[in-house]
Structure 1
Amino acid sequence: MIGRILGNRYEIIEKIGGGGMSNVYKARCNVLNRFVAIKILRDELISDPDFVAKFKQESLSAASLAHPNIVNIYDTGIEGDIYYIVMEYVKGETLKKYINKKGRLSETESLKISRQVAEALKHAHSNNIVHRDIKPHNILITEEGIAKVTDFGIARAATSSTINNTSNVIGSVHYFSPEQARGGYVDDKSDIYSLGIVMYEMITGVVPFDADNHISVAMKQIQEKPVPPSKKVKNLQISKGFEDIIMKCLEKHQSFRFQNTDELIRKLDSLNGISSSVKTDEEIIDSPTMVLPVIGDIKENKVIDIDIIDQESDNAFRSFFGETDSTGNEDKHKEKKTDMEDKAQKSKNTKITVAAILSALVVALIGGVIAFRAFLYVPEITVPNLIGRNEDEAKQIVEGLGLEFKVSDRQFSTEFKEGEVIEQSVDEGAKLKEDYPLEVVVSMGIKEITVPNLVGRYAIEAGIILADAGLSEGRVTEENSDKYAAGQIIEQYPTANNPAEAKDKVDYVVSLGPKVVYVKMPNLAGLGLETAKLLIVQNNLAVGEVTEEPSDEVPAGQVMRQSVTAGQEVEQGTSIWMTVSSGKAEEPGTEQPGTEPGTQEPGTEEPTYEGIYPLTIALPKDKDKVTVVIQRVTDGGREVVYSQEVKTSEQSIIVNLKGSGIQVFEIFMDNEPYVTKEINFE
């Protein structure tokens, strides 16, 4: 890909990263003359519609977002069989590498990064997008120390589609939420849980839950409470406030976490001594847009000279309010005026009157604005404590204060009686405006629990099944069973469908598989072949491969050697191989006495095998082991030519069959007919 130009503008310079789904390259945009990052779907995944859909989902999800803490998407396209996304080039490293490099981060640095990621999630959630895969690998730290969230490949709109496919849990097992592990409903509080694990890892250097396999980690996410960071790392420097924030993010139940990123950001800001960035109504200074009349002469439609208004304002107010000249000689002045002076005076009086009217309008307007603001002012109401109160009582209190009472959910509870308030959306003591909705969760009482059926399920599933039912695991024992495979549950107590109470323990027994029985290996040496086979079967063993060798000491047809030494303890069902004497080896050129060369007496012919046929047998997948028996079918009866217990992990076996002409063989699996084969050895 190096040197290739995509979309006639993006010149690929070097590879800078990659993952299971895509490779990331640094490129130069020849149009805007800037560096960009290009994510290209791997070649081997182009034919997989699921991966193509996830790749397109990333571009659609992230392209709708624009935030300084989210990696921007610039462009996307398809060129031939290349699917690519063009995004902001971030010069830095992933938070995972940053943590590994430093061991663990200080509280100050952890708070700074946590807040930036929370701001990014707040923006995504406000656009109804849940990331679903928040982890240090998907957070980039620039050289300036700015955190940027990336990889919206499995993001989903926050609708009913955020319910996971229960057969395919999506996300990263060390970082996803309990509801993701169960395949349940995922919302913005699931991202808050994942951010809590990232905060935990930043401050301690390790994730809260780890195990040898992913299933065990997922079960811990569902069942176990995390060890507080201060107890996880000895002498860890962490404030109680920050530890409380982390532990609240990591609550197993969604309703016990921060209800949204706004709450989380306010808590993080309180540790830094930062007040909320949202101004209250009292802090907002209004400068409303107003329509003012044109200041001009009403009769002549001319603009009034402001200087004239200033010079004559005193006289104008006197004239407007009916005051006389201070000298008291008004009549004397009137007699002396000429007609021209009368006209000038009238014009002057008109101008003064207009100025006075405008002044009065300004005074009235200022008073109106003050009255309008007073009219719009809504008093604040202190939120009461509703926890534990009856629903009707809580509603009466809330509505009596002038707030709106709203039940957001009803849940089972062992702590609160039916109808009592479990939690409220706004904490006690907070200030709300009149008619603001105050949401509560109301108890449905103790859930009526019936014990689920565990018999036949594998023990690794038991913990999850019981936890979902509100129960817990009791005493676990193990027994052999011919009916149930190893790891399956044989029986339980209490039995299925019995009533139970929350947290009751359920005991169960796990199968160890069939009981292993040992028998003493009989001595087959010197026995005829058929007699030896019969003795093997009578001792619950299986007849294995039989080979022939010439011998000067052992008569033809008698057993010379056996695969298991006589007297040794051996597991029932073990295949026993035997070597049978074919008689003395014939010397070259010698003939049997009493016969002509090339002839034998009638009835003494030995079977001759002219060819070998490699027979491939496919093994079943639903068993760990299986006994394969092959019988040669002839007019005179049947002959066991192969008997062996094999492991099905080999998927198939090859058995070399000897014969001549056309012969028929029947194959059995665990004493059940499997297939009949007609083989031509010619």
Structure 2
Amino acid sequence: MTSVSSDPLIGHTLEGRYVIHSRIARGGMATVYMATDNRLHRTVAIKAMHPHLAEDPDFRNRFEQEARNAAKLTHPNLVSVLDQGEEGETVYLVMEYLPGITLRELLKQQRFLTTEQTIEVSESILSGLSAAHAAGIIHRDLKPENVLLADDGRIKLADFGLARPASANTGTGQALLGTIAYLSPELVTRGVADKQSDVYAFGIMMFEMLTGEQPFTGDQPMQIAYQHAHDVVPAPSTLSSQSTPELDAIVLWATDKEPEKRPADAAEMLQAVEASHDGPAPDFATKVLGTQVLTTQLPCTTVVDPLPEEQPTPDAPAPAQEAIEPRSATALAYARGRKQRRKGAIMLGIVAGLAAIAAGVGWYFGSGPGSLVTVPELEGLTAEEATQALEGMNLIATTSECYALTTDVGGVVDLDPAPGTRVERESSVNLCISIGPESLETPDLTGLDLEEAQKKINEARFISGKVRAEQFSDQPEGTVLWTSTEDGDELPQMMPEQSVIDVVVSAGQLPEISDLSDAEAREKLAEAGLEIDDELGWLEYSDSVKADRVISAHYPADTMYRGDSVGLVVSRGPELFEIPDVSGMKLQEAIDLLSEAGFEPSTLVPEILRGMAEVKESVPGAGEMAPKGSEVQVKSVISL
């Protein structure tokens, strides 16, 4: 039979849609697979929770929380979650598939990143994390393993499995979540996380990108946790020449022990990283590159104190001042009147401007672009309902037919122009109306091996179902013998697309067990997947198979499958018969009697003298047991 992976999900189709091909990675909570979405014909990544964790309601809720959190986020630097579902014990997410490597793998290859690489990766991560923070989501598990570097150059942040809404108090009240090397001091000491905890974790990641090392290490997790809570992260430049004073300051700012002294969120951190391209901006220098930080953490950097204001020397003449001429009441009144006239002109201009804006708005929404209407979402409605909705918006409905898998016959599958498009009133909108799934010709799979058959099923736009049975036959093991529908009926010539096709494959030939011992025969049948039922077997005389050896297997049906029961026919050896008493008989009479009893008599008396010979005894003797066909020597005497 074609070899199949020990992972039961590989080759399986989830909910009749996602065909799983291979494993990408395995983590503490879930395994990630590469799969094909048969409905949309695209490659996706499937993240399936480990079955033993799916039984735990807490883990299950956290896994489903990831789907909800990620569904809120749409950003070029965040991995998109496309779907979520469960089938039996399998709880899974469907995500976009990004061929490439993780930041962890890149660090293993290079040990550390260059300054330019660090800034590029940091800006991408912080850009995606900013979107999460803006949506009120805390990641809580930032680490290089969760940063994906795609082959096409995209950088994306993944795995919101530990994420929590920032609006909720994020105290865990249980074991700390997240990787210990990136936990913030407040998570270690109080078990509480917020956006600034993510910022701290990113600061540790940035330190690792620049130096190739984590700032805190130890033999035990508690040793590392203690250092996070009590020790200060050193400047990256103390370990690596890739860092700059600006990057040193960013790392130290992000990893401050006190959360309120860190950047408020990823967006503020992103601004600092972007500013590091050309040196710190003035406000950034005040906040991050302050004298205290740089003199205590960066002794190699000098900050020049601001110059004191210039004071006049006692001998120097004071600066000349303009003489202020007193103003009369008349002059003040004139000035006040001029100011009022200026204010009136300004107000007149404002009113005129508002009038122009109002006229423009009237034009925009009357006969200008504002007169356009937005094509509504109508998928799933009946053709009649959708037509009425369009007519109510002064749009003209036209219809066409199209195949659809999930929309009932007569329902709207798609619109042209697409929903959300702005069009002029009285424009035509085409409604694509479902006529059900497309009927396709079913493929001929007989004689193919299982892997080829499954590939051909998918190529024909059907779903590869299960191996319904493994039947013993003359065909090689794993060869498809026949196909059926999901209900077990004979496969018709035409079926709707995405219908399930099951197969029956060959289990190879039935094992040969003749002349084996009982134990050897049982072992060989078990290896072939057959069950031994002693009630189906018996003992039987055999002239060719020794006693206690297996003559054959008893198969109760003409067609046998793996898992069926068989019996053993075991030899009792040859059947024995009693040798008749021929003593005192004439020799010829004795020979005839022994022959009739099934034995082979022999004598030394010539045939011409047998009429005068009388039997004295036989060997074996009378009453002894011997198989039919055995030789019996007849001893006799001749009477003259």
Q: TM-score range by the shorter chain?
A: 0.3 to 0.5
TM-score (norm 2): 0.43
Could you say which structure has the greater relative contact order, defined with CA pairs below 8 angstroms and 6 or more residues apart?
2
TM-score (norm 1): 0.40
